[in-house]
Structure 1
Amino acid sequence: AGIEMATVYLLSTENLQRDADELAALIEIITEVVEEICAPVNQWSVRTVGDLELIGELPARRLRDAVRSTGDAARTASFHVNLAVGYGGRQEIVDAVRALLSKELANGATGDQLIEAVTAEAISENLYTSGQPDPDLVIRTSGEQRLSGFLLWQSAYSEMWFTEAYWPEFRQVDFLRALRAYSARHRRYGL
C-alpha cells in the first residue's frame, strides 16, 4: 500500500524559546512550507498537531487557512500529513490525560473511577493523533540522536533512522536511504 501517513515536526515548544529574530524567520519558513504542502496539486489530507496559538495570530491564521484549503482532499486523499507546530510530546500527553479526566468528570466519575479510567488505550484515544496509526519509522534530521519530544507516546515501538542533514536540506535520496534501512529491519514491537 505504500506510505499513507507522515508527521512532520516543524516547530517544537522548545524552539519557541529561540531569539525573536531567529524565531520569526523560522516561523516564516514553516508557514511557506505548510502552504506548499497544502497546495491543491498535492491533494493531501493535512492537519496540524500542537498549539498554533503559540506562534502568533497572523502565522497561525495562515497555517489554519492553508490546512482548511485541503478540506475537499481530506475525504478522498490516499496520503495524510500531520504538521507538528507548537508541539511538545510531554504537553500532548498532559493534554490527553486532562481531556480524559475532564470527560470522566463530566460523566460524574468518582475518584476511584477516575483512577480506573486512566489506561493506555484511553490516553491514546485522547492524543492529538487519536485514530491514527503509530509511526512505523521516525526519521531524525540534524545529526541529533534523540526524539526531542516528538510523538513520545506514539513512537514507543517506532524504528529510528538518523541523518546529518537538516530538514530544509533533507533530499529524496535521504528519504530513500531511510526507507531502505527500515525495510531491512525486523520489527519486534518491544518483544
Structure 2
Amino acid sequence: MSGKKHKLETITLKTGNKLLKPFYRVYEKWLWLQIKNGPFPNHIGIIPDGNRRWARRIGLEPAEGHLFGYEKIKETLRWIWDLNIKHVTIYAMSTENCKHRPPEEREKLFELAFKGLNELKNLPEIHKHRVRVRVIGDYSLVPSHLISAIKALEEETKNYDNYTLNIALCYGGRQEILDAIKKIVNDVVEGKLDPNDISEEVFKKYLYTNDSPDPDLIIRTSGEERISNFLLWQSAYSELYFCDVYWPEFRKIDFWRAIRSYQFRERRFGR
C-alpha cells in the first residue's frame, strides 16, 4: 500500500499547485478554529463521485480512478472518526453500477470491493475505534465470494458499538423501500404485525440502515447535484452538500467546509 500511497502523492503534486500548500495549511487551521466547537453530525452519508472522470483528466485508465477513490475513502474515514462522528454510510456501488456497467469494469469493481473488505477486516482503526461494519444492498447482484468476505467482516465487527460504518454495495434506495414493504407484508400475513401499528418508526426498522439514525449530512463530490437513489427514505431532512472536486482530490479542507456549512444551517425538520 505504501507504493500506491506514494503514487497518489506524486499525482497530487502534479495536478495541484505546490506553491499553494503552505496556504492550505494556514487555511486548514483557520477552518478548524471555526468548526472545532461543533455541533457535528451524528451520521454522514457520502456519495464519492468522479473517480473515472478524475482518472481520464490526468491520463489514467478509468479503473485506476476507483483505486485512488478507495484510498481516499480510508483517509476520509479517519477524518470522520477524528471528529467523533458515530455513523457513516458510503455509497460504494449502486444497483445501476452492478447491473449496467460493462462486465469487465463491473468485475474490476467487485475485485476492488473484495480487496477492500478484506483489508477493512484487518485495518487497525476499525478495531481501535470499535467500528461495526455492515454492507447493505441487494445481495442477489453480489458474487458469492464477495458475500463470504462481507459475512466474515460483519462477523468480525458485530460486537463493536462505538461507531458504525455502512457500506452501500449494489444499493438502491427504491429497492431498499420495496424490500422493506415486502418484509412488512410478510409479517402482516404471518400475524407478526398489525397493519394499524405501522408507523414511520416501525417502517424504519425494516430498512437496511435500521441500526443507524437518519443522516444529518450527505456529501457528494464531482459537482453533480443529485442524490442518485441514495438513502431516499432516510434523507428526507438531511442537509445536502455538493462539492466541485472529484472524489480522489477530496481534501480535509473540503470535508471541513462541508462540516462548516452544516453548522451554519438552521435545522427545523419541517417545523
* TM-score, normalisation: structure 1: 0.85
Whether the 8 Å contact between 2:223 and 2:243 is mirrored in structure 1 is yes
Task: Look up the equivalent residue of 2:115 and give its one-letter code.
Answer: E
Give the secondary-structure state (helix, strand or coil) at the position aligned to 1:11. Answer: coil
Which residue among 25, 31, 41 is the counterpart of 2:114? 31
Equivalent position of 1:145 in the other structure? 225
Task: Look up the equivalent residue of 1:128 and give its one-letter code.
Answer: Y
Go from structure 1 to structure 2 and tell me whether the alpha carbon gap of 1:80 and 1:152 turns closer, same or farther (over 3 Å shift): same
Superposition map of 1:25-174 within 5 A: 25-42=108-125, 43=127, 44-72=131-159, 74=160, 77-107=161-191, 114=195, 116-174=196-254
Structure 1 segments unaligned to the other structure (5+ residues): none
Q: CA deviation at 1:170?
A: 3.0
Give the secondary-structure state (helix, strand or coil) at the position aligned to 2:147. Answer: helix
Q: CA deviation at 1:51?
A: 2.0
1: CA distance between counterparts of 2:123 and 2:110?
A: 22
Equivalent position of 1:11 in the other structure? 93
Go from structure 1 to structure 2 and tell me whether the alpha carbon gap of 1:190 and 1:38 turns closer, same or farther (over 3 Å shift): farther
1: CA distance between counterparts of 2:230 and 2:238?
A: 11
Residue by residue, what CA displacement relative to the aligned partner does 1:90-134 show, whole Å, maximum 9, x if unpaired? 01101111111111110187xxx64x4543232212111113210
2: CA distance between counterparts of 1:85 and 1:108?
A: 30
Task: Look up the equivalent residue of 1:88 and give its one-letter code.
Answer: G
Residue by residue, what CA displacement relative to the aligned partner does 1:142-191 show, whole Å, maximum 9, x if unpaired? 32111111100001000001113343443333222211211111112123
Go from structure 1 to structure 2 and tell me whether the alpha carbon gap of 1:173 and 1:67 turns closer, same or farther (over 3 Å shift): farther
Go from structure 1 to structure 2 and tell me whether the alpha carbon gap of 1:141 and 1:27 turns closer, same or farther (over 3 Å shift): farther
Deviates more, 1:181-190 or 1:85-94: 181-190
Whether the 8 Å contact between 1:38 and 1:46 is mirrored in structure 2 is no
Q: CA deviation at 1:141?
A: 2.0
Whether the 8 Å contact between 1:50 and 1:86 is mirrored in structure 2 is yes
Whether the 8 Å contact between 2:164 and 2:212 is mirrored in structure 1 is no
Residue by residue, what CA displacement relative to the aligned partner does 1:9-59 show, whole Å, maximum 9, x if unpaired? 101101111011111122222333333444341221111111233121122
1: CA distance between counterparts of 2:218 and 2:270?
A: 16
Whether the 8 Å contact between 2:134 and 2:167 is mirrored in structure 1 is yes
Deviates more, 1:10-19 or 1:25-34: 25-34
Task: Give runs of ≥4 in structure 1 deviating > 6 Å.
Answer: none
Greater relative contact order, per chain length (Cα 8 Å cut-off, separation 6+): 2
Two-structure CA RMSD over aligned residues (Å): 2.1
Go from structure 1 to structure 2 and tell me whether the alpha carbon gap of 1:31 and 1:167 turns closer, same or farther (over 3 Å shift): farther
Write 1 or 2 for the structure with the bigger share of strand: 1
2: CA distance between counterparts of 1:62 and 1:82?
A: 15
Deviates more, 1:63-72 or 1:92-101: 63-72
2: CA distance between counterparts of 1:52 and 1:190?
A: 35
Whether the 8 Å contact between 1:53 and 1:60 is mirrored in structure 2 is no
How many correspondences in the alignment?
Answer: 184
Go from structure 1 to structure 2 and tell me whether the alpha carbon gap of 1:70 and 1:108 turns closer, same or farther (over 3 Å shift): closer
2: CA distance between counterparts of 1:63 and 1:108?
A: 29
